[in-house]
A and B are shown apart, each in its own frame.
Chain A
Amino acid sequence: MTSTTEGAESLSVEQLSETTLLRFATAGSVDDGKSTLVGRLLHDSKSVLTDQLEAVERASAGRGQDGPDLALLTDGLRAEREQGITIDVAYRYFATPRRRFILADTPGHVQYTRNMVTGASTAELTVILVDARNGVVEQTRRHAAIAALLRVPHVVLAVNKMDLAGYQEAVFASIAEEFTAYATELGVPEVTAIPISALEGDNVVEPSARMDWYGGPTVLEHLETVPVSHDLAHCHARLPVQYVIRPRSAEHPDYRGYAGQIAAGSFRVGQEVTVLPSGRTSRISGIDLLGQPVDVAWTTQSVTVLLEDDIDLSRGDLIVPSKDAPATTQDVEATVCHVADQPLTVGHRVLLKHGTRTVKAIVKDIPSRLTLDDLSLHPHPGGLAANDIGRVKIRTAEPLPVDAYADSRRTGSFILIDPHDGTTLTAGMVGESFAAPEPVEDRADDDGWDF
């Protein structure tokens, strides 16, 4: 057994507490063997416990299946088990000695786009599965497009069912090449292709003895070693203020701290900062990291920031370095994924939540809808239905300090909310849809797609 497959039980308390966290998502349909892959990752990392496995075995036998159906580990709702489908994103948790994992397992059939967008929004890595016998198909391109739109930093292409393709290098190489070319065109920064057989266990946790032509990592080895932090020097520092902490106690009569989770970059004591949208400036006099004073804090730490000057600052404001403040705007152009059953239409009055600020807004225009299968554009569709992806132009009642989603996933994203019933309508990403391999001219009054 290699070190990767050792369960957590062999570790000391100290080792257990020293791991990092990776959030990742899986995309693919049941036919691609996604459930088998997820089941094997959980099972081989010893994250499925005896009583869970027994429950799955009982349920599988009750449905007349021979072996345990590992999909039942994640399909937890009554309707899902009855219909044999996954209807919602399921979150799974497992750990190896090197890392803790949060897996957003997204269903392949129902509400596909909406669920994958949800799973990908917090993921740092997406595993896209293809069947080695079919290669890159329409669905694969759709998965790649969503990973690209959501700017998931790392993409893994798992070429599955290599056992049914004779474990041939040529089969893997041509699929990997085709996919990588497509994903690169969409601006996906990193693709790691891995030949696997989820059923046989090849290259999932253990290296395959049947594909010695492959010298790369197994799926789990890659998940364990992919970097989970970014080069902060190139990030815009952003702190959306959630809450103003004012104890007004005998011990802290004048304490006034601005609490929030650093959305991007880092802040340090002494730094000159600007508060948006007001534009007032001050200097950071202290940073409180949950009870511990620190000189520097960075994303995604929750902190309380103290300022030298007593300025007007409240929930919804954004603290940024004065040297690197975004422009504020009331006109937001974005790519959106519509997630509600009721359609989004031109003229729709909505609430827009960006960071910690929620403002009134109106959908001014829907210039185009995108077909993910072939990336074709449908101009002026009039509205967007559930699971549609399109471009929108929104006018907000108050100016917002938005970043381009390409620069900052947290401060470049927003949701639209129905003001009447509170439904989450739409997931929005500010700016151009896909990262272009080369700079492309901005055609503002055209359809806005840049590839």
Chain B
Amino acid sequence: MTTVAEARGGGEGTRTPYALSHLDALESEAVHIFREVAGEFENPVVLFSGGKDSIVMLHLALKAFAPAAVPFALLHVDTGHNFPEVLDYRDRAVARHGLRLHVASVQDYIDRGVLKERPDGTRNPLQTLPLTERIAAERFDAVFGGGRRDEEKARAKERVFSLRDEFSQWDPRRQRPELWNLYNGRHAPGEHVRVFPLSNWTELDVWQYIAREGIELPQIYFAHEREVFRRSGMWLTAGEWGGPRDDESVEKRLVRYRTVGDMSCTGAVDSDAVTLEQVITEIAASRLTERGATRADDKLSEAAMEDRKREGYF
């Protein structure tokens, strides 16, 4: 935490008096975004997957409204292929902070025959319909997502307040310019606004902030032994979701996850980083982006993310 003395203490060129550290600046901006939404919307919800970005979002929301409770519910889109450690974390977080949790289940849609399993077994693209239908059914007017502009090139052009039509669609050519910190949350009935408080954070910022704030994470973010098999250049966890095939062999490796999504398309990386400090050192030295390293869903095509976003994806 910055204190007056510390902030004034730096004498070097970049440590000018009253300049906030980059983490303080990003934290303050995110808190401002949370409070704008609380002030201007009727029924906001926070998308919460149990992944590190949504965990940081929840932490920021808790700080933004303390000592009062967070004035939003959480929404989890459950692919049915979640890591058990992550579901466990989700339920403990909900209980500890007395939050309300909505779950939209991809499995329900498959069971009802509304959605069909894809040949490649990944359920990430299948999340869009349960997500958008739940948003419409609950009449959520603001939906917080943990998306960051550094994640992917289509996200680099995303707004902090991103208007979605009644079909949850995103049109990148009709975005509202965002000037100063004056966010425009106006929307028609049936439309909603996706809000991205971590827009300006990088993966490294997120990890540094987790370390600074002492935020607890699911254990799969740290190196552990796991039975995995190789597919599309990634280490995937064996499981009921459809892996490994006969031609793929399982082996035990020391790995950790850089992102947490559907088990079928989220790969682990070889790692011996067991502490936050080791993870940060590893990320700072990495020559691959987190999505490039570990997400099959973004390897589908050059515009895979843009296409999913247009349809109403996170």
List A residues at the B interface (Cβ < 8 Å): 7-9, 11, 13, 16-21, 49-52, 55, 59, 73-79, 81, 87-93, 95, 98-100, 102, 114-115, 117-118, 121-122, 224-225, 227-230, 232, 242-243, 245-249, 251-252, 255, 259-261, 266, 288-292, 294-296, 298-302, 315, 339, 351, 353-354, 356, 409-410, 413-415, 417, 421-424, 427
Contact = CB atoms under 8 A, between A and B. Distances in A.
Contact of A89 (B154, B157, B286): B157
Contacts of B179: 117-118, 121, 339, 413, 415, 424, 427
A93 B180 contact: no
B32 A413 contact: no
Interface stretch (B9-17, B139-147, B244-252): B9-17
B198 to A, nearest CB: 12
Nearest to B185: A422
Interface residues of B, number: 78
Given A93-B150, A424-B177, A76 B20 contact: no
A8 B3 contact: no
| B66, B154, B182, B285 interface centre (most CB from chain A within 10 Å) | B182
B218 interface: no
Contacts of A89: 157, 177
A31 B27 CA distance: 38
Contacts of A117: 177, 179
A291 B66 contact: yes
Interface in B1-48: 1, 3-4, 13-29, 31-32, 35-36, 38-39
A106 B277 CA distance: 36
B100 interface: no
A369 to B, nearest CB: 19
Contacts of B163: 422
Contact of B200 (A74, A78, A91): A91
A375 B65 CA distance: 47
B14 to A, nearest CB: 5
Contact of B284 (A16, A90, A410): A16
A95 B21 CA distance: 13
Contacts of B90: none
8 contacts: A13-B281, A50-B287, A51-B288, A76-B154, A91-B156, A93-B202, A95-B202, A252-B68
B111 interface: no
B175 interface: yes
Nearest to B275: A13
A91 B3 contact: no
B289 A99 contact: no
Max chain A Cβ within 10 angstroms of own Cβ: one of B180, B286, B293: B180
A449 B31 CA distance: 38
Contact of A121 (B16, B35, B180, B205): B180
B289 A49 contact: yes
Contacts of A232: 18
A423 B200 CA distance: 23
A88 B175 contact: yes
Contact of A13 (B18, B35, B211): B211
B68 A427 contact: no
Contacts of B177: 89, 114-115, 117-118, 339, 424, 427
Contacts of A7: 284
A109 to B, nearest CB: 15
Given A76-B155, A228-B16, 4 more contacts: A261-B32, A266-B18, A292-B1, A354-B182
B284 A21 contact: no
| Nearest 9 pairs of A and B residues by beta carbon | A76-B153, A422-B186, A51-B292, A247-B68, A229-B19, A9-B285, A21-B22, A242-B35, A302-B31
Given A77-B172, A91-B200, A294-B4, A245 B21 contact: no
A356 B21 contact: no
Contacts of B277: 13
A20 B64 contact: no
A18 B4 contact: no
A285 B178 CA distance: 35
B302 interface: yes
A422 B36 CA distance: 16
A413 B25 CA distance: 20
Contact of A49 (B26, B35, B68, B286): B286
B297 to A, nearest CB: 14
B46 to A, nearest CB: 16
Interface string B160-195: 000100000000110111111110101110000000
A354 B4 CA distance: 29
A16 B292 CA distance: 23
A229 B4 contact: no
Contacts of B95: none
A11 B284 contact: yes
Nearest to B6: A18
A260 to B, nearest CB: 7
A302 B35 contact: yes
A21 B288 contact: no
B224 to A, nearest CB: 21
B42 to A, nearest CB: 14
Nearest to A337: B179
Given A17-B212, A18-B21, A228-B16, A77 B306 contact: yes
A302 B186 contact: no
Contacts of A224: 13-14
A92 B156 contact: yes
A409 B187 CA distance: 27
B176 A261 contact: no
A292 B187 CA distance: 36
Contact of B26 (A21, A243, A351): A21
A261 B28 CA distance: 7
Given A52-B292, A242-B36, A77 B154 contact: yes
B14 A19 contact: yes
A417 B184 contact: yes
A90 B157 contact: yes
Contact of A51 (B13, B173, B200, B289): B289
Contacts of A73: 153
Contact of B35 (A259, A414, A415): A259
B212 A243 contact: no
A99 B14 contact: yes
B288 A50 contact: yes
A102 B157 contact: no
Contacts of A410: 180-181
Given A93-B149, A302-B31, A421-B188, A20 B21 contact: yes
Given A8-B204, A76-B157, A93-B200, A413 B303 contact: no
